Every structure is written in structure tokens, then in C-alpha cells.
Amino acid sequence: MSIDMSQFHQVFFEECFEGLEAMESGLLTLDMGDIDSEVINTIFRGAHSIKGGSGTFGFTVVADYTHIMETLLDEMRDGRRQVTQSAVDVLLGSVDCLREMLTAIQNEQDVDEASVAKHKAALEIELNGSASATEPAPPVALAPQDEVVAADVASEVEEEVIEDVEQGWKIAFCPYLDLLKTGNDPVRLFRELNELGELTAIANVQDVPSLSEIDPEECNISWDLKVIGDIAEAEIKEIFNWVEGDCEMDIQPLAKAKPPKKAAPTPAPIPVAAVETAEPEPAEIVAETKPKVTANVKKPAPQESDNEAKTAAKASGSIRVDTDKIDALINMVGEVVITQSMLGLVGENFTMDKVSQLKRGLAQLERHTRDLQQSVMNVRMLPISFVFSRFPRLVHDISTKLDKKIVLKLVGENTEVDKAVVELINDPLVHLIRNSLDHGIEKPAERVAAGKPETGTIELKAYHRGGHIVIEIIDDGRGLNKDKLLAKAIEKGLIEENAVLTDKQIFELIFMPGFSTAEQLTDISGRGVGMDVVRRNIQSLGGNIEIISELGKGTTIAIHLPLTLAILDGQSVAVGDETYIVPLVSIIESINITEKMLNKVAGKGETFRLRNEYLPVIRMREIFNVHSGSAAKMNEGVIVVVEGQGALCGLLVDDLLGQQQVVIKSLEANYRRVEGVSGATILGDGSVALILDVPGLVRFSVR
């Protein structure tokens, strides 16, 4: 049978990468001196599965490589080998190397052989205890495509086949009583023998007890078997391979064959009765094996062409979805279908007295659509652990490099976020964590002197708050030095010398372009191009970032991100004839306003008083140049108090319309970027409404 193996490749690669991640995190736990046999087992299993799969799917390079890792890990697992720091480091290196190999194979690129050889040599040194890495890697027991199952037996066979051909065999087969309990059955063995040549089986029943004592689960019979044909001993042995320990067996040739080259099987002194049948048998075997071989040879060709198709399709990216989520989705679809058919029924022969029924149906449909939307959005949600899981390694590598002792704590890894957020948040987080490692946490000695524990802690925490996900990076390092920050900012000309700044504003200085506090640049962080990029990236995700720090105690960086990038809860507001959407999360409150509540401040525009604060006012009509509608009411509008970038501001609109979930359509993709607008949506009546970019507007108002 020809089965296209390439269809399993994608699953295989995904599985490998998952396995590698599990191995990596396992190795990192080992690294902390916590030798747990279950952890070693998990790591072993990772290597083992990759080896098994790569062998099966034909990625020999990977299989060869993992074989060495497996051997090393196997010795650790059995306690024959100490788990040392150097072994863990080499294995971590191997994990990286495998990842590169698999990525290359997946993208159909060439594997970087130099790098593989380097890691392989390191592994072998670790394994052999010396640099005897010159000897070639032990070949994996890779059975060539058409070889028979038991590779170990088969390899011996090859030579014998040529020389040791016999005309038939006599086999004394005496199973132990338990043979049947392994699921083996003599009948099946005989059937196989019969396929090799003509079989005569004589059962010896003298050991069978009397009927009253018989145990039907035991095998009391032994057999004298005779199989006639041009059969190699190994072929017979292979049949009995599985019952080797469960029986006594003696295989004897019926008669020795003439020298290797024999003209025809007939001349051999075979028992008379058998002569006739002996001849056609060998021919049949040949006929049987031939097509099989050719079939196997042909296989690689279609496989390759399919590979290409596969890579092309792969670019779209895949996502793993929990079956629960899919079930919920199917459930919702069912509800919608029911409601739809109910509405259909109402619509048939509609009369006015059915209006209440219709309304009820529509209300139900609305609820179900919303639920369905939620369920679909849920499919895109991934646990943040997809991002977090990479950081233990990062912390391990960097803290070793910096000679610092640091523990990374992960909290709330199962918090779910949109797939797009998961993909885009990684780089900013890497940067922030590097900063904490490099500048935040002090060297052990410095920590001890400050009366802190020698080992520093970085906590990476994710949780939901409102419609947001919050990611916090908390370190117990030296904290930010406000005086230093101020001095630096003044020196760089970022602020005026006598500027008065709040703590918050001082901390935010580090997000300014060209600001770096590291006294000397290291290769880990401190190039001064980082933090402003981080902030920009997070803002482009619709989020914001804030810093709380206490000198000597530590720093907390909190990132707020929207849960999803595709949909938002919005408040629609009327400005003239236009409708705008204000993201609900940024609205603090909305108040009615009259002309006299507004104050003009010379040079600073308009403000209004909210309790004890004066907030800047943005007239939406002016900013978006709206002239339609009745301008008379302009001063009796509504102020929507919004927060963005930590600052409050009032948006003067004509009226509040209602709250609704809106699907975000990109303005950039369809038109171009517009300041103060983050996107657009299509309203129920088909018109387009712009979604306000509140932080952008606030920035605008400050200017």
C-alpha cells in the first residue's frame, strides 16, 4: 500500500517544537539543581519521540542526532550518569540545534551542517567523557524502507540467505504452558510458515491432561513441524521471533543443500511426497517479493512533490484549539439555527399579532449572535504561556553571562490573549526582561550588602482586568534612581533644567527616544534605542505601559493590552451628522455641559472643571471639521471624559448614542493612517463610523 507520509509532516513538526520546549523547560529545572527523575524522564521522552518520528518520516539527520541525546539521557535516567551542569548546558545547546535543524527542514532549506557537527561533537564529548568525537556517531537502527521488521535478525540474515539455502526444515516446537497468554497463537505461526513453504504439522498430544483436569488457557500440545521449500533459516526464526522465550524450539535442516549455486531444487533428496510441490514454491516467493520492492522504490517521488504543496500551504499558519472551545462553538451554531428556523416560522403567514413573537425571536437571535461571536473570538485566544515559556531559558542564559543569581517566577500563564497579541508582545517583553536582568537586579555581593537575599527575583505576571490583559514584570532589584534619571534627561536636553516633574513623569523619561541610563553599554541591553520602541510597539497594539519603582526595592512595569485586536466595546457618539466610536475602556464618565462650565485659558485652549481638576477640552466638531447638523446646540453638548496615556481629557460631542460591540476594520489597509483615528467600523445601517484613537487625541490636545 502506498501512503503519502508527507501529510503527517506538519503535525510532526508541531509536535517536535512542543517537545523541544518541554525538554528545554525540563532542562532548566534540572539546572536549578533540582534532580527529579520524572523531569529527566520527560526530557528523555521528548528526545525519544523526536527520534522515533524523524526516523519514520525519513529525517535521518534529526534521527541520528537525537539518538546521541537519547543515549546520554538514558544513562542519566538509569542513574548511570551524574547530571552535571556541563551536560545540561550541552543538552540545552542541542535543543537549540535541533530546533534549527527542524526549522530548516520544515522550510525545505539546507541544514547548517557545521553547527550540527559542532553540537554533535560537544554531545559526544559529554557522552564519552573525552574528545574521541572523531569516531562516527553510532548509526541509528534505521530499518531501510523495505527491510523486514526485526532489524537485528534481518541484518544477520543477508549473508546466510545466499549460502545457507535449504530445501526444507524440521522444527520441534514445544510451547510453554503460558504461550497463549501473550496473545500469540500457534495456529497463526503455522499459517505464516505455510506461506513460506508447504507445512506439515504433527501434534503431540501425550501431555494433554484428562478432560476433567484440563485448563483451557494453557497450551499442552507440542508440534513436530516440517516445512518444505527454498527457505532461509532466518525466515523461520523471524516467524518464531516473538515466542522465543515462551517455547522450546529446535530447527534442523531437512537436508543440506548442494554448493551455493544450485540448478534446481529437485535433485536434493527430499521426501518423495514433497518433490512435486517443492518446485513451484520458490518461484512463488520470488513473484511475491518482486513487486513489493519496486513499489517501495517508487515511493519517494510522489512524496517530494507533495512536500512542495505542503510548504506552500503552511505559510497561512495554524493554531491549536482546545476541543472544549470547538464544542462551545458548535453548540452556539446549533442555537442560532434553532432561532433562525423559529423566525422562519413566524415569517411564514406573518400577521400583526405575531409581532411580540417576532421581537422575542430577534432578541434571542441577538443574544446568540453575540455568544457566537464570543465563541469564535475565543478560538483565537491562546494562553500567554506561549510567550512566557521562552523566558526561563532567556533568564538562565543571561544570568549566567552576567554572573547574577536570578529566579524567574511565572504567574498566570494560562491567561488567554488574542493570537495576534501573543505574536506581537514577545519582542517588547524580551526587551523589558533583559533590562530587568541587566540593570534591575544587582550582583549577588551588592544585594547582600543591601540586606537583600543573594538571589534576585523577577516575576512575570499576567491577569485580566476589565477588558484588558495586564502583564507585569516585577523585579526586586535596585529600582530607578530619580535623581539620576533627571540629571540624565537634563544632560541630554530632553527636559528643561528647572522642570518640575511628578514621579510618574520622571519614570516615563526612560521611554523617551535616545535615553539610556546604563553607565556602560553591554551586549545585553543599554543601546538606548529600546524603551521608546517598546512603548511604540505596545501602543500600536492599542495598549499602554507604566512604571512604578522604588529606589532599592525594585521596579514594576505594567503593560495593559486589549484582549483582542479584532473587536471592541464602543460608545457611539454623535458629532453633527457623523457618528464616532469611542472605545469603552477609555471612557471614565460622561457629563452634560453648558457654556459657562467651559473656560478659555490664554494660550492653552479650553478647559473645563471636573470636581477639583481642570481638564483640557477637545471640540470634536473642530478637530474633525464637521459642519453639518445644528450648530446651535454645540455648547449644550456632552463631555466624554476619557483617559489616555495616563492623562484625562474631555471630548465635546453633540450626543451619546449607544453602546455596541464593533468589528474593527483597518483604516490603513483600506485608506491611509489618520491621526486621532485607530480604525473604522461599519454600523448597522451600513454607514462607516471612525473609531477614535484616544491616546492619539490626548497627545494631540496636549500639543
Partner 1 sequence: MASILAVDDSASMRKMVSFTLKAAGYDVEEAEDGVDALEKAQARQFDCVVTDVNMPNKDGITLIRELRALPDYKFIPMLMLTTESGIEKKQEGKAAGATGWMVKPFNPDQLLKTLLKVLG
User: Counting contacts by CB under 8 A, is residue 53 touching partner 1?
Assistant: yes
User: Counting contacts by CB under 8 A, is residue 152 touching partner 1?
Assistant: yes
Say if CB 418 and CB 566 are below 8 A apart.
yes
Amino acid at 57: F
Say if CB 538 and CB 471 are below 8 A apart.
no
Residue 6, classed as helix, strand or coil, is: helix
User: Counting contacts by CB under 8 A, is residue 138 touching partner 1?
Assistant: no
User: Counting contacts by CB under 8 A, is residue 182 touching partner 1?
Assistant: yes
CB of 222 to partner 1, least distance (A): 19
Centre a 10 Å sphere on the Cβ of residue 683 and count the other Cβ atoms it contains.
14
Q: Judged by CB under 8 A, how many residues of this single chain contact partner 1?
A: 48
Which residue carries 543571561 as its cell?
398
CB of 53 to partner 1, least distance (A): 5
**Helices within 173-322 (DSSP H only):** 186-196, 233-240, 272-278, 280-298, 300-314
User: Counting contacts by CB under 8 A, is residue 507 touching partner 1?
Assistant: no
d(CA 435, CA 531): 9
User: Counting contacts by CB under 8 A, is residue 57 touching partner 1?
Assistant: yes
CB of 181 to partner 1, least distance (A): 6
Which range binds partner 1 by CB under 8 A, 177-185, 325-333, 361-369, 376-384? 177-185
CB of 587 to partner 1, least distance (A): 46
What's the gap between Cα 257 and its chain centre?
61
CB-count burial class (<10 Å; 0-12, 13-18, 19+) for 75:
middle
Which range binds partner 1 by CB under 8 A, 39-47, 104-112, 310-318, 603-611? 39-47
User: Counting contacts by CB under 8 A, is residue 52 touching partner 1?
Assistant: yes
Closer residue to partner 1 in complex, CB, 192/371: 192
User: Counting contacts by CB under 8 A, is residue 245 touching partner 1?
Assistant: yes
CB within 8 Å of 300: residues ≥ 6 apart: none
Say if CB 370 and CB 569 are below 8 A apart.
no
CB of 215 to partner 1, least distance (A): 13
User: Counting contacts by CB under 8 A, is residue 290 touching partner 1?
Assistant: no
CB of 183 to partner 1, least distance (A): 4
d(CA 246, CA 304): 44
d(CA 7, CA 13): 11
Closer residue to partner 1 in complex, CB, 235/476: 235
Residue 446 appears among annotated catalytic residues: no
Which range binds partner 1 by CB under 8 A, 241-249, 453-461, 620-628, 629-637? 241-249
What's the gap between Cα 445 and its chain centre?
39
User: Counting contacts by CB under 8 A, is residue 476 touching partner 1?
Assistant: no
Which range binds partner 1 by CB under 8 A, 175-183, 228-236, 433-441, 531-539? 175-183
Angle among Cα 402, 422, 478 to the nearest 5 degrees reads 30
Out of 241, 389, 516, 635, the residue judged to bind partner 1 by CB under 8 A? 241
Closer residue to partner 1 in complex, CB, 57/515: 57
User: Counting contacts by CB under 8 A, is residue 318 touching partner 1?
Assistant: no
User: Counting contacts by CB under 8 A, is residue 37 touching partner 1?
Assistant: no
Out of 35, 141, 273, 362, the residue judged to bind partner 1 by CB under 8 A? 141
Which range binds partner 1 by CB under 8 A, 91-99, 143-151, 328-336, 510-518? 143-151
Out of 33, 183, 603, 658, the residue judged to bind partner 1 by CB under 8 A? 183
User: Counting contacts by CB under 8 A, is residue 186 touching partner 1?
Assistant: no
Out of 34, 36, 112, 146, the residue judged to bind partner 1 by CB under 8 A? 146
Run of H or E including 473 = strand 468-475
- Per the DSSP assignment, residues forming a β-bridge with 567 are 663
CB of 345 to partner 1, least distance (A): 40
d(CA 124, CA 90): 10
What's the gap between Cα 667 and its chain centre?
31
Which range binds partner 1 by CB under 8 A, 185-193, 226-234, 354-362, 526-534? 185-193
Say if CB 123 and CB 72 are below 8 A apart.
yes
Say if CB 559 and CB 472 are below 8 A apart.
yes
Q: How many CA atoms lie within 13 A of 496 on its CB side?
A: 4
Q: Which of 435, 439, 544, 578 is catalytic?
A: 435
Residue 435 appears among annotated catalytic residues: yes
Beta strand 688-692 with 677-682 is antiparallel
CB of 45 to partner 1, least distance (A): 5
User: Counting contacts by CB under 8 A, is residue 149 touching partner 1?
Assistant: yes
Which residue carries 527457505 as its cell?
231
**Helices within 492-599 (DSSP H only):** 503-508, 530-540
Q: Which of 21, 70, 124, 238 is catalytic?
A: 70
Which range binds partner 1 by CB under 8 A, 42-50, 157-165, 262-270, 459-467? 42-50
Among 357, 356, 324, which Cα is nearest to 339's? 357
Residue 548, CA distances (Å) to 46, 410, 500 in order: 41, 19, 18
User: Counting contacts by CB under 8 A, is residue 324 touching partner 1?
Assistant: no
User: Counting contacts by CB under 8 A, is residue 106 touching partner 1?
Assistant: no
The 10 Å CB-count burial string (b at 16+, else e) for 288-313 is eeeeeeeeeeeeeeebeeeeeebeee
User: Counting contacts by CB under 8 A, is residue 17 touching partner 1?
Assistant: no
User: Counting contacts by CB under 8 A, is residue 643 touching partner 1?
Assistant: no
User: Counting contacts by CB under 8 A, is residue 11 touching partner 1?
Assistant: yes
Closer residue to partner 1 in complex, CB, 276/288: 288
Specify whether the backbone of 174 is left (phi greater than 0), alpha (psi in -120 to 50) or beta.
Answer: beta
The grid coordinates of residue 122 equal 560537544
CB within 8 Å of 542: residues ≥ 6 apart: 561, 562, 565, 678
Interface residues for partner 1 in 193-232 (CB under 8 A)? 217
Contacting positions for partner 1 (CB under 8 A): 1, 3, 5, 7-9, 11-12, 14-15, 42, 44-45, 48-49, 51-53, 55-57, 63, 70, 141-143, 145-146, 148-152, 180-185, 188, 192, 217, 241-242, 245-246, 292, 296
Instruction: List active site positions.
Output: 48, 70, 435
